[in-house]
C-alpha cells in the first residue's frame, strides 16, 4: 500500500503575503481627513469665483440682448383695461417715446425680432388692452 499524504498548497506565509497588499490598498481608499476635504472645497469655491469674475467672452454676441431703445412702456401701463382705439394707440406711442407701434390681437402671428423703439399693445378678442411692452 502506498502512502498518500495531503499537503496544503498555501501555507500561512503565502496567505500573509497576499493579505498585506490587500489591506494596504483598502487603507488607501479611506476618506481624507476633514482638513484636506475643507481645503479642497475652499480651493474649488475660489476657482469658481475667479471664473465668475472673469470678463465675459466678447465673441458670444448672439447670446446678448440687443440694445434697448428709447421706448418706455412703464409710462402707458394705465391703459390696461381700456378699449383700444387708434387715438389711444397714437397717444401711447407718443407717451412711451416709441418710434413704432404694433397692435397684437390674440390670433396674430408675430415675428420674434426685438425692436427697442417699438411699443407693442396687446388686446383681447373684445379690443380691450391687456398689456403693453416694448420690443
What single string gives the DSSP state of each residue in 110-133? ------TTEEEEEE-TTSBEEEEE
Cβ neighbours for 79, distance < 8 A, ≥ 6 positions apart: 88, 92, 121, 129, 132
Query: Would you give the end-to-end CA distance of the chain in angstroms?
Result: 107
Give pLDDT tens digits for 41-66: 777 777 777 777 766 655 555 566 55
Give pLDDT tens digits for 65-111: 555 678 999 999 999 999 999 999 999 999 999 999 999 999 999 88
Q: Kindly list the structural domains of the chain, giving each domain's residue range(s) and its CATH number in brackets, ordered by start.
A: 12-53 (no CATH), 73-134 (3.30.10.10)
Grid coordinates standing for 109?
402671428
Query: Half-sphere exposure (CA, 13 Å, Cβ side) for 64?
Result: 9
Distance CA 51, CA 56 (A): 10
Task: Write down the pTM of the prediction.
Answer: 0.51
Alpha carbon of residue 118 to chain centroid? 28
Distance CA 129, CA 86 (A): 12
Quick one: pLDDT at residue 114?
Answer: 87
- Average model confidence (pLDDT) across the chain: 79
Amino acid at each position: 500500500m502506498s502512502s498518500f499524504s495531503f499537503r496544503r498548497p498555501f501555507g500561512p506565509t503565502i496567505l500573509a503575503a497576499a493579505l498585506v497588499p490587500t489591506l494596504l490598498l483598502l487603507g488607501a481608499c479611506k476618506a481624507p481627513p476633514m482638513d484636506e476635504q475643507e481645503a479642497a472645497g475652499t480651493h474649488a469655491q475660489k476657482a469658481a469665483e475667479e471664473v465668475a469674475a472673469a470678463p465675459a467672452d466678447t465673441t458670444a454676441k448672439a447670446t446678448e440682448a440687443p440694445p434697448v431703445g428709447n421706448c418706455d412702456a412703464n409710462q402707458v401701463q394705465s391703459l390696461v383695461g381700456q378699449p383700444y382705439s387708434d387715438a389711444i394707440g397714437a397717444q401711447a406711442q407718443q407717451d412711451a417715446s416709441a418710434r413704432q407701434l404694433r397692435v397684437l390681437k390674440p390670433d396674430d402671428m408675430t415675428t420674434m425680432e426685438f425692436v427697442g423703439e417699438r411699443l407693442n399693445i396687446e388686446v383681447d378678442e373684445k379690443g380691450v388692452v391687456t398689456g403693453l411692452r416694448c420690443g
